[in-house]
Structure 1
Amino acid sequence: MTEQALRAALLKLQGKSPLPASQFTAAQRGALDQFARQTGAVKCLRQGRGDVYSVCNQAVFDAHVTQLSPQVEPSIAEQLPLRAQHVAHARDSKARRHQHGSYYPLLKAVGDTVSWREVERGAELALSAATREFGAASLSIQSDDAWHSERALWLVENQALFDRTDWLPEGTQASLLYYGGQLDGRLLSWLGHRPRASQVMLFADYDGVGLSNFRRLREALGDACDFWLMPQWESKLARYGSVQLWRDTLRHFTTAVAQLPAPVRELTEQMQQLGMALEQEAVWLPAS
Structure 2
Amino acid sequence: MPDSLAKHLSTLLQGKRVPVSNISARDRKKLQSLFATEVLEEVRIGAGRSVRLCDHPALLVYAKKYYPSGLEKEVRLDGSPRSSAIAHLRDAKKTSATDAEILTLRAGGNVDILSKNGRLLPLTEWCNLADVAAVRLDDASQWAGSGVMAIVENLEVFFHFEKIGFEADLIYYAAGRLSERALRWLSSPGMQSCQIVHFGDYDPVGVDEYLRLKKACPGRVKMYVPDDLEKLLSRYGKAELLEDSKAILLRLRNNRDKTTRYIVSLMDRYNCGLEQEILLAF
User: TM-score, normalised to structure 1's length?
Assistant: 0.62
SS of residue matched to 1:213: helix
Give 1:260 shift.
5.3
1:86 aligns with 2:84: no
8 A Cα contact 1:144 1:190, kept in partner: no
Residue 227 of structure 1 aligns with which residue?
Answer: 223
Of 162, 170, 175 in structure 2, the residue corresponding to residue 175 of structure 1 is: 170
**1:215–1:256 Cα contact (<8 Å) kept:** no
2:97 paired with 1:102: no
Q: From 124, 141, 150, give the equivalent of 2:120.
A: 124
Deviates most, 250-259 or 96-105:
96-105
One-letter amino acid of the counterpart of residue 183, structure 1:
L
Q: How far apart in 1 are the matches of 2:183 and 2:229?
A: 27
CA distance in 1, matches of 2:274, 2:70: 45
- 1:191 aligned residue: 186
Structure number with greater Rg is 1
CA contact (8 A) 2:199 2:223 kept: yes
C-alpha RMSD over aligned residues: 3.1
Deviation track 1:166-224 (CA, whole Å, cap 9, x = no partner) reads 23435x24111111122112111211222525311111001111112112112211222
Q: Aligned letter for 1:249?
A: S
- Give the Å deviation of 1:275: 0.9
Q: What is the CA deviation profile of residues 136-195 of structure 1, one whole-angstrom value per residue up to 9, with x for unaligned ones?
A: 11222234533122321111111111111223435x241111111221121112112225
Contact 1:107–1:138 at 8 Å: present in 2 too? yes
CA contact (8 A) 1:212 1:255 kept: no
Residue type at the aligned position of 1:175: L
- Specify the code of the residue in structure 1 equivalent to 2:112: V
Q: Which amino acid aligns with 1:188?
A: L
- Partner letter of residue 187 of structure 2? G
Matched, 1:252 2:245: no
2:13 alignment partner in structure 1: none
Q: C-alpha displacement at 1:89, in angstroms?
A: 11
Distance across 1 between alignment mates of 2:68 and 2:133: 31
- The amino acid across from 1:253 in the alignment is L
* Contact 2:252–2:260, Cα closer than 8 Å, also in 1: no
Look up the SS of the partner of 1:108 in the other structure: strand
Q: Secondary structure at the match of 2:101?
A: coil
Letter in 2 for 1:125: L
**Percentage of pairs with the same residue:** 21
| 2:238 matches 1:242 | yes
Which protein has greater RCO, CA pairs closer than 8 Å, 6+ apart?
A: 2
Give 1:274 shift.
Answer: 1.2
Distance 1:89 1:244 in 2: 32
Deviation sequence 1:218-267 (CA, Å, 0-9, x none): 22112221111023111001110111122112222223443351133211
State whether residues 201 and 227 of structure 1, in contact with CA within 8 Å, keep that contact through their aligned partners in structure 2. Answer: yes
2:184 aligned partner, one-letter code: S
Tell whether the 8 Å contact from 2:150 to 2:168 is kept in structure 1 after alignment. Answer: no
Q: Which runs of 5+ in 2 are unaligned?
A: 4-63, 75-90
Paired residues of 1:155 and 1:203 also in contact (CA < 8 A): yes
2:171 is paired with a residue whose SS is strand
Read off the aligned partner of 2:272 and give its amino acid letter.
M
CA distance in 1, matches of 2:96, 2:253: 30
Matching residue's letter, 1:189: R
TM-score, scaled to structure 2:
0.63
Q: Give the total of aligned pairs.
A: 203
Q: Evaluate the alpha carbon distance shift between residue 273 and residue 139 of structure 1 in structure 2; reply closer, same or farther with a 3 A threshold.
A: same
